[in-house]
Amino acid sequence: MSNGFILDFEKPLVELEKKIEELKRFAAEKNMDMSGEIEPLERRAAELAREIMSKLDPWQRVMIARHPKRPTFYDLVGMIFQDFLELHGDRHFRDDPALAGGLAWLDGRAVTVLGEQKGRDTKEKILRNFGQPHPEGYRKAMRLMEQAAKFKRPVICMVDVAGAYPGIEAEERQQGEAIARNLRDMSMLPVPIVVVITGEGGSGGALATGVGDRVYLLEHAYYSVITPEGCASILWKDAGKAPHAAKALRFNTEDLLRLGVIDGSIAEPLGGAHHDPAQTAANIKEIVLTALAELDRFSPTELVEERYRRFRRLGVYATS
């Protein structure tokens, strides 16, 4: 449960949950049967969670996607895969701790898995640059994907990034080129690629590992061309209008499905992924396994052709 960090709109729920826990502890201490009191409260808590989550506005969704307690890449990898063997470095400049990747078993099948690691405490967050890769991170990702292609393993990309990193060195080492190259080369990779956006799917940074045969979005994750703050400060010169921008950018699940940008939504436990990381991981695993079973039917040539078509049709325009 979410102890520690609490979002405003989570408060009533967290307070109720606290009460239930206290009551349980009290009952255990006194060896009393208080289930008559506890059960209605638990029902009320579930109702409240459903109520809160069903009324989330786009900005609150972003808050959940960025929740400090949201399961990270390592958390999820540990629960979805077995024997994760991390591989490091882009072979040119350095190892970027913001984007991790390596080999793992997925139910008896060797796969390549990679994704941004935001970090759980302050120290790790700084080490990992809050999960914002430098160019060598994207290049490491591409290296691991090409390695996967060589050994005919599928690739699972987990995406959780606010956006590409706005820094001098990231520019000097050409993050634009690194992203462009990933877009081009991922589109031609002859093995299945399944993309799961687990938290933030922010702009070019997200897309740099986002060119998949299937792209899924966790229920409260978001996928956007720009952060709501960035959009608001550019269009209305006021980052404070981010909630307004979040609405205008239309990154809700229905619109992303309608526009063909994602292939499906992955359910989160009541209250959000941080309320039950294990269940979240199980839900992701189920979808990934189903997707891989579907993609296994394609030859490498068909796979690349279908992937091209998938992205080729994205866009809305008139032909007058």
Question: What is the binding site for another protein (CB under 8 A)?
Answer: 164-168, 170-177, 179-181, 183-185, 187-188, 203-204, 207, 210-211, 223-226, 230-231, 234-235, 248-251, 255-256, 259, 261, 307-308, 311-312, 314-320
For another protein, the closer of residues 12 and 190 by Cβ is 190
Which residue, 293 or 314, has its beta carbon nearer to another protein?
314
Coil, helix or strand at residue 265: strand
Task: DSSP letter for 125, please.
Answer: H
Contact (Cβ atoms closer than 8 angstroms) between residue 128 and residue 119: yes
H/E stretch holding 161 reads strand 155-161
* Least gap, CB of 7 to another protein (angstroms): 24
We find the least distance from the C-beta atom of residue 268 to another protein, in angstroms, to be 20
Residues 6+ apart with CB under 8 A from 78: 84
Query: Cβ closer to another protein: 119 or 228?
Result: 228
Shortest separation between residue 190's beta carbon and another protein, angstroms:
12
Residue whose structure tokens are 């408060």: 11
Task: CB nearer to another protein: give 187 or 279.
Answer: 187
| Cβ atoms of residues 209 and 234 within 8 Å | no
**What is the Cα–Cα distance from 114 to 152, expressed in whole angstroms?**
16
Nearest distance in Å: CB 53, another protein = 23
CB of 40 or CB of 166, closer to another protein: 166
**Which DSSP state fits 200?**
E
- Following CA atoms 155, 156, 162, 165 in sequence, which dihedral angle do they give, to the nearest 10 degrees? -30
Least spacing, CB of residue 74 vs another protein, in Å: 25
